C-alpha cells in the first residue's frame, strides 16, 4: 500500500466535555476513561497525544521530540477505526501504511515560541502475551495509548506497556516532561483488570475517569423515551457527552434501545460494569452512577447495624444501616459455605468486633431459618444465631416479588442525606467493598430464560447462580422496613408449612422509618 500524505485534509476543532477536561488536566502515569459507545473517547485520546507532543520540553535545537505508540487488540480494528479517526483529526504528518504502521510529523517553528514539533507514532495490534510481548520489548516510548482497552484481557500486556514508556527522549538531549499510559474503554466485566485497578486495588498514580451514562431509566409514557426488550423505558441523560458530535444527536443512543436487553444497554450505552447478558436482570432500577458510593461506606455513629441473613448451602449476611430519613446503606457483605453456627462464631462476630465495634445490632433472617434441621430437630438457623448472642427476628416474608419490590423501592426513592443534609440523596447506596452484591446488581442476578420459537421468554423464577444468597440476605432487611402502599397477600410456604394463604400486614411488630 502506498504512503498517504494527509497534510491537505480538513482541520477539525476539538472541544472537550467535562470528563475529558479533568482527564487532560491529570498528570498521573496511568489514566483511563470508561463510558458508553459514541461519547468521544477516542477523539479525546488523539487530542491528548497532540497535547503531550506540544508540552514536551524542547532540546537545545528547539525541537520538542516525543515517541508514542497506539495499541488496539486486533489489526483490522486498528485499520478500520483507530487509524481512520487519527487521519481525520491530525491531518498534518505522514502516514506509512505498510508494516510497521507509522505516523510522523516534523514541523519547524510550529509553536509561537519558535520551537518545532517532532512526533513519531507507531501503531500496533496486541492480543496474546506469548506472541506480542516481543513487540513491546523493543519499544522506547514517551507515551502509549490503548484504544478500546476492554478488549485487552491480559493484565500482563498492560504491565509491559507501562514498562516501555518514559524511555524517550534521551535525557542528554532534553528533560522528559511527562510519560505514561492512557486508555479509553467501554464497560467491562468485574473480573477485568481495569475493574480491579479502578475499583478494588486503586494503586497510587493510577487515575480512572467515568463519563455520565448516555441514558437514564424513566417511567412509561415519558416524552422522547424508548422501551427495551425487557420492558424498561429509557430517556437521554442531559449530562450525556458528545451529543453534538453525533450526526443523529441524542437519537444515536435512543434508537439503539429497541430490541436490546437491559443489561446490554447498561454496559454499552451507560458504561456500567457488567456483561451483556442473555437474561433479564432482577433489579433494572439499579444504576451504578447513582447507587454505588465513591468510597467504601463507614457506619454512621448512633445508628444500629441491620444484619440480613440467608440460609442454605451458603450462609450469607448483608450488613446495612437505615437512616431515619429512609436511606438503605449497604455497608458490607459476608458469605461462607460454613454452617450457621460456625459462620457466626468464626466469621461474622470477629468482623463485627474489629470493624464495627461499639455498634448495636438488629438482625433479620429469611423465614425458612425457623425450620428445624433434619439432623438436629432442636436447632434452627435462627436459634444458632441467637446462641451466639445475636437477637434475630424473621423477616415478614420471603415471597420473591415482595422482596424484590422492597429493595427496588429504596432504589427508586430520594431522601435527605443523614450525613450531608443533601435533599436529593439516593434512597439506596452500596459500598464498593460489597463486590458480590454489586456483581449481582450489574446483571448476574437475573431471571431464568426459556427459548421459544418467538425468542427468549423470561420466567418469574430467579436464576440461582450463586448470586441469590447475599441478595436474599439484603432483601431480608429491606422487606422488614418497607411500608407497602397496601397490604400484600402472599403465599409463604417456607414460613407457613401448611401452604395456606398468609396476609402480611407490616404491623408495629416491625420497625418503621
The predicted-structure confidence for 100-129, as pLDDT tens digits, reads as follows 899 999 999 999 999 999 999 999 999 998
Min mean pLDDT across 192-201, 274-283, 434-443 is at: 274-283
Q: Indicate whether 203 and 219 sit together in one domain.
A: no
User: In percent, how much of the chain has pLDDT > 90?
Assistant: 68
Q: How far is CA 122 from CA 42, 69, 176, 397, in A?
A: 16, 5, 19, 62
User: Would you say residue 493 has pLDDT above 50?
Assistant: no
Same domain, 432 and 462: yes
Same domain (yes/no): 330, 434? yes
What's the order of all strands across the beta sheet hosting 315-322?
Answer: 392-394, 361-365, 305-310, 315-322, 328-336, 428-430
All three cell numbers of 142: 514517551
Please check whether residue 511 lies inside any domain of the structure: no
Q: Is 167 helix (H, G, I), strand (E, B) or coil?
A: coil
Same domain? For 228 and 194 the reply is no
Pairing of strands 315-322, 180-185: unpaired
* 187, 210, 233 - which closes a domain: 210
pLDDT surpassing 90 at residue 175: yes
Domain shared by 244 and 358, yes or no: no
Q: What is the pLDDT of residue 281?
A: 81
Q: In this structure, are 108 and 203 located in the same domain? A: yes
Q: What is the pLDDT of residue 484?
A: 44
Pairwise CA distance, residues 207 & 48, whole Å:
15
**What pLDDT, in 10s, does the model give residues 400-428?**
888 999 999 999 888 887 777 776 688 99
The predicted structure's pLDDT at residue 43: 97
pLDDT of residue 420: 72
pLDDT of residue 136: 95
Q: Chain centroid to CA 422: how far?
A: 24
Domain match, 138 and 223 both: no
31 beta partners? 182, 207
Mean pLDDT for the chain overall: 87
Query: CB within 8 A of 280, min separation 6: which ones?
Result: 230, 261, 262, 446, 447, 449, 458
Rounded to 10 deg, the angle between the 129-137 and 155-163 helix axes is 10
DSSP character for 388? T
Q: Is residue 48 part of a domain?
A: yes
Flag whether pLDDT at 260 surpasses 90.
no
CA distance 364 to 367: 9
Tell me how far apart the alpha carbons of residues 343 and 314 are, in angstroms, rounded to a whole number.
Answer: 10
Q: Are strands 305-310 and 361-365 parallel, antiparallel or unpaired?
A: parallel
State how far the Cα of 198 lies from the Cα of 464, in Å rounded to an integer: 29
Pair 184, 232 in one domain: no
Question: How many percent of the chain have pLDDT more than 70?
Answer: 86
Domain count, the chain: 3
| Residue 295 domain-assigned (yes or no) | no
Average pLDDT on 229-251 reads: 95
The span from the CA of 10 to the CA of 130, in Å, is 41
Q: Is 455 a residue whose pLDDT tops 70?
A: no
| CATH code of residue 179 | 3.40.50.300
Asked whether 473 and 366 are in contact (CB, 8 A), the reply is: yes
* Same-domain check for residues 64 and 198: yes
Residue 287 located in a structural domain: no
Same domain, 144 and 204: yes
Q: Which of 210, 235, 266 is the last residue of a domain?
A: 210
Residue 290 is assigned to a structural domain of this protein:
no
Q: How do residues 292-327 score in pLDDT, each as one tens digit?
A: 998 999 999 999 999 999 997 789 999 999 999 899
- Tell me if 289 is assigned to some domain: no
pLDDT of residue 279: 62
Whether residue 466 has pLDDT greater than 80: no
Domain holding 84, by residue range, is 4-210
Q: Grid coordinates 435527605 are at which residue? A: 416
Give me the pLDDT at residue 460, please.
65
Give pLDDT, residue 448.
Answer: 73
Is residue 395 domain-resident?
A: yes
Residue 345 lies in a domain: yes
User: Of 99, 190, 92, 193, nearest to 146 (Cα)?
Assistant: 193
> Domain end: 210, 232, 267, which one?
210
Q: What's the pLDDT band for 375 if we cut at 50, 70, 90?
A: very low
**Residue 490, pLDDT above cutoff 60:** no
pLDDT above 50: residue 488:
no
Q: What is the pLDDT of residue 487?
A: 38
- 184-203 pLDDT per residue, tens: 999 998 889 999 999 888 99
> Are 258 and 420 within 8 A, CB to CB?
no
pLDDT at 485 over 50: no
Q: Are residues 205 and 173 in the same domain?
A: yes
Location of C-alpha cell 437477637: 391
Longest pairwise C-alpha distance within the chain: 91
Taken as a whole, the chain contains a residue count of 513
Band (pLDDT 50/70/90 cuts) for residue 378 is: low
Cell matching residue 79: 485499520
Q: Does one domain contain both 200 and 235?
A: no
> Which ranges in 112-211 belong to alpha helices (H)?
129-137, 155-163, 193-195
- The domain that holds 490 is classified in CATH as 3.30.420
Amino acid at each position: 500500500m502506498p504512503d498517504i500524505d494527509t497534510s491537505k485534509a480538513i482541520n477539525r476543532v476539538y472541544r472537550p466535555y467535562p470528563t475529558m477536561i479533568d482527564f487532560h488536566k491529570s498528570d498521573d502515569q496511568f489514566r483511563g476513561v470508561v463510558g458508553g459507545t459514541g461519547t468521544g473517547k477516542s477523539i479525546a485520546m488523539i487530542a491528548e497525544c497532540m497535547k503531550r507532543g506540544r508540552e514536551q520540553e524542547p532540546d537545545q535545537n528547539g525541537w520538542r521530540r516525543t515517541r508514542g505508540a497506539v495499541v488496539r487488540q486486533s489489526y483490522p480494528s486498528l485499520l478500520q477505526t483507530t487509524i481512520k479517526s487519527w487521519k481525520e483529526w491530525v491531518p498534518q504528518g505522514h502516514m506509512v501504511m505498510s508494516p510497521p504502521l507509522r505516523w510522523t510529523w516534523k514541523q519547524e517553528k510550529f509553536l509561537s515560541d519558535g520551537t518545532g514539533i517532532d512526533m513519531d507514532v507507531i501503531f500496533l495490534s496486541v492480543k496474546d502475551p506469548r506472541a506480542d510481548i516481543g513487540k513491546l520489548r523493543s519499544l522506547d516510548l514517551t507515551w502509549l495509548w490503548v484504544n478500546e482497552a476492554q478488549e485487552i484481557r491480559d493484565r500482563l500486556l498492560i504491565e509491559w506497556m507501562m514498562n516501555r514508556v518514559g524511555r524517550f527522549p534521551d535525557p542528554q538531549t532534553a528533560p522528559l516532561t511527562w510519560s505514561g499510559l492512557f486508555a479509553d474503554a467501554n464497560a467491562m466485566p468485574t473480573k477485568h483488570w481495569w475493574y480491579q485497578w479502578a475499583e478494588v486495588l486503586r494503586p497510587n498514580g493510577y487515575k480512572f475517569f467515568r463519563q455520565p451514562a448516555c441514558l437514564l431509566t424513566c417511567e412509561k409514557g415519558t416524552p422522547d423515551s424508548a422501551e427495551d426488550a425487557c420492558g424498561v423505558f429509557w430517556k437521554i441523560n442531559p449530562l450525556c457527552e458528545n451529543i453534538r458530535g453525533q450526526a443523529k444527536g441524542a437519537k444515536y443512543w435512543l434508537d439503539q434501545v429497541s430490541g436490546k436487553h437491559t443489561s446490554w444497554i447498561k454496559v454499552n450505552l451507560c458504561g456500567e460494569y457488567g456483561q451483556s447478558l442473555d437474561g433479564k436482570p432482577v433489579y433494572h432500577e439499579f444504576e451504578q452512577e447513582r447507587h454505588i458510593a465513591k468510597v467504601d461506606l463507614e457506619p454512621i455513629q448512633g445508628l444500629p447495624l441491620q444484619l440480613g441473613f440467608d440460609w442454605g448451602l451458603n450462609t450469607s449476611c448483608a450488613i446495612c444501616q437505615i437512616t431515619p430519613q429512609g436511606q438503605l446503606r449497604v455497608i458490607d457483605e459476608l458469605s461462607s459455605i460454613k454452617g450457621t453456627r460456625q459462620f457466626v462464631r468464626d466469621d461474622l462476630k470477629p468482623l463485627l468486633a474489629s470493624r464495627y465495634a461499639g455498634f448495636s445490632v438488629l438482625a433479620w433472617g429469611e423465614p425458612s431459618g425457623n425450620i428445624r434441621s433434619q439432623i438436629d430437630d432442636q436447632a434452627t438457623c435462627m436459634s444458632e444465631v441467637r446462641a451466639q448472642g445475636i437477637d434475630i427476628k424473621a423477616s415478614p416474608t420471603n415471597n420473591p416479588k415482595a422482596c424484590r419490590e422492597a429493595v427496588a423501592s429504596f432504589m427508586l426513592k430520594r431522601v435527605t442525606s443523614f450525613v450531608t443534609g443533601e435533599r436529593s440523596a439516593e434512597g439506596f447506596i452500596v459500598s464498593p467493598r460489597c463486590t458480590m452484591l454489586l456483581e449481582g446488581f450489574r446483571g448476574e442476578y437475573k431471571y431464568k430464560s426459556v427459548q421459544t420459537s418467538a425468542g427468549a421468554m423470561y420466567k418469574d423464577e430467579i436464576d440461582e447462580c450463586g448470586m441469590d444468597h447475599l441478595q436474599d440476605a439484603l432483601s431480608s432487611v429491606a422487606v422488614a422496613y418497607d411500608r407497602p402502599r397496601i397490604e400484600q397477600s402472599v403465599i409463604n410456604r417456607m414460613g407457613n408449612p401448611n401452604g395456606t394463604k398468609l396476609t402480611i400486614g407490616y404491623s408495629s411488630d416491625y420497625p418503621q422509618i
